[in-house]
Amino acid sequence: MSNGTDLGPADRSRSARTAAIALCKGLGVPGSYHVTSPSGRLSFDSATFDVIISSSVFTHLPEATANATLAELSRVAAPDCLLIRSSSDLGEARMPTGDVPSLRPFVLNNDLYDLSEPPHLWNIDGIDVGETATTVQGWSLPHGGNPLNRALVVNGHSFELTPADPLLEYSRIYPWCPNAIFSGFRVSIPHKVLDVRLADEVTFACGPIEGDVGGRPQYLLSVLRRDLNFEIPDTTISARIGVEQTLHYTMYGRSIFNGLDASLRTATRRSFADFTTIVDWGCGSGRVARHVGLAGLSADQKLIGFDIDAEAVAWANAAIGPHFRVSSIDPPLDVANGSVDLVYAYSVLTHLAERLAGSWVREMGRAISPGGIFAFTVLSETAMIALLPMMDRQDLLLWRKQGILDSMENAQLESMGVAGSYYRNVWMTKAFIKSLLRPEFELVSLVPSFHFYQDLVVARRRG
């Protein structure tokens, strides 16, 4: 059933639409056609329909009419009805004033994935410390489509989130999440409730107030007071890792370090302090490695960062300490066989073509001692679900079949003369990751949503 037929310009008269419906009938398109009344009231009983399709209709409705139409659609929708709306409609969708309709949105390629437990993605974009309160601004996908069912937990204190102004980009990127347009939030934390100025570390967690996130672990974002005094590299260097804001550079570095430490502890019962020779492969400007150093390396511990970005490595050596070395696009690393007991790599194998990924895993097998750990992030199921509608269907099918998808160039390293023909966005299935690791490594753990939609692989060197 369609609640209207848009055949073109928005100013078509109602009689023209009536004629279009008549035309569908005349063409013998199966179904029954009804001219709806301008009041929006549909002449059907409540809970009649299992599927409702609307293409480019909400785009043309003023807010009050859109809300009334959504309310009417939810009346005639049976429980768990599928609402199919075009992406332009999703982009323009208005938040219903009453209860949020329990309608599942239509998503391109949704037959390929179970969208009942999508990742709960969120971010902090600004922290502003005022005289009486701290204002935190960010975005969080509305859980189950309800923009009011979200809380930000800051150092154990829970704050309900009220939606900020509509932001179209979220509904474009995440059309599988109803009301993603209301992802933006701003929350005020009175100093008398929680004075973040006095806290050494501020940790944010975001999630639904009611319901859960399907057993997925939740990433946390943290920042330490002392982190805020750190020098950070200029934007030419930080843009190569896709980060533009100072807060994001600082907070993500700390959060990735904390997340790695926690995941290592869970998967291997060892934390950073328990490894002797630690390699940060693809360290960039030491965004994560600086925290390994700050955690306090003991006299018998060594940290080495390797990267092909000579400028970032020089900056890290000057700003952090002499831990960093320039390495080549191809193996080997300048370390002796079996001399390393932990290699971690944040968002490096996410960028390498299959042949190079294979030769680097073999190289890690050479460098890491038996029992040692290789922890690296991947674009896998979580990233695929998150970006599902943006992916080409043929690519998705190919990914399923081959286990690896390498169809996109990444231009982030072009400022240092490394082209997208080398630097890619590469997606791997869990089965592919397992086969990539063989024979040197066994998969110990795959942590979904480790940091946004990058998953973390923890692998142990056999031997």
Ligand X SMILES: C[S@@+](CC[C@H](N)C(=O)[O-])C[C@H]1O[C@@H](n2cnc3c(N)ncnc32)[C@H](O)[C@@H]1O
Answer yes or no whether residue 347 interacts with ligand X by CB under 6 A: yes
Give me the least distance between CB of 392 and ligand X, in Å please. 23
Give me the least distance between CB of 322 and ligand X, in Å please. 18
Nearer Cβ to ligand X, position 330 or 442? 330
Answer yes or no whether residue 348 interacts with ligand X by CB under 6 A: yes
Residues near 253 by Cβ (< 8 Å), separated by ≥ 6?
Answer: 227, 287, 288, 290, 291
Q: Which residue from 85, 120, 287, 291 is in contact with ligand X, where contact means CB under 6 A?
A: 287
Answer yes or no whether residue 309 interacts with ligand X by CB under 6 A: yes
Nearer Cβ to ligand X, position 221 or 283? 283
Give me the least distance between CB of 461 and ligand X, in Å please. 19
Identify which range of 29-37, 50-58, 177-185, 341-349 contacts ligand X by CB under 6 A.
341-349
How many residues contact ligand X, by CB under 6 A?
20
Answer yes or no whether residue 241 interacts with ligand X by CB under 6 A: yes
Answer yes or no whether residue 307 interacts with ligand X by CB under 6 A: yes
Q: Tell me which residues in 401-420 interact with ligand X (CB under 6 A).
A: 413
Answer yes or no whether residue 324 interacts with ligand X by CB under 6 A: no
Nearer Cβ to ligand X, position 185 or 230? 230
Nearer Cβ to ligand X, position 20 or 356? 356
Answer yes or no whether residue 376 interacts with ligand X by CB under 6 A: no
Answer yes or no whether residue 327 interacts with ligand X by CB under 6 A: yes
Q: Which residue from 105, 142, 166, 282 is in contact with ligand X, where contact means CB under 6 A?
A: 282
Identify which range of 7-15, 179-187, 283-291, 389-397 contacts ligand X by CB under 6 A.
283-291
Give me the least distance between CB of 273 and ligand X, in Å please. 21
Answer yes or no whether residue 93 interacts with ligand X by CB under 6 A: no
Identify which range of 48-56, 83-91, 219-227, 281-289 contacts ligand X by CB under 6 A.
281-289
Give me the least distance between CB of 305 and ligand X, in Å please. 9
Nearer Cβ to ligand X, position 161 or 457? 457
Identify which range of 119-127, 302-310, 364-372, 447-455 contacts ligand X by CB under 6 A.
302-310
Answer yes or no whether residue 363 interacts with ligand X by CB under 6 A: no
The 3-class secondary structure across the chain, one letter per residue, is CECCCCCCCCCCCHHHHHHHHHHHHHHCCCCCCCCCCCCCCCCCCCCCEEEEEECCCHHHCCHHHHHHHHHHHHHHEEEEEEEEECHHHHHHCCCCCCCCCCCEECCCCHHHCCCCCCCCCEEEEEEEECCCEEEEEEEECCHHHCCCCCEEEECCEEEECCECCCCHHHHHHCCCCCCHHHCEEEEEEECCCCCHHHCCEEEEEEECCCCCCCCCCCCCEEEEHHHHHCCCCCHHHHHCCCCCCHHHHHHHHHHHHHHHHHHHHHHHCCCHHHCCEEEEECCCCCCCHHHHHHCCCCCCCEEEEEECCHHHHHHHHHHCCCCEEECCCCCCCCCCCCCEEEEEECCCHHHCCHHHHHHHHHHHHHHEEEEEEEEEEEECHHHHHHCHHHCCHHHHHHHHHHCEEEEEECCCCHHHCCCCCCCEEEEECHHHHHHHHCCCEEEEEEEEEEECCEEEEEEEECC
* Binding interface with ligand X (CB under 6 A): 240-241, 281-284, 287-288, 306-309, 312, 327, 329, 346-348, 351, 413
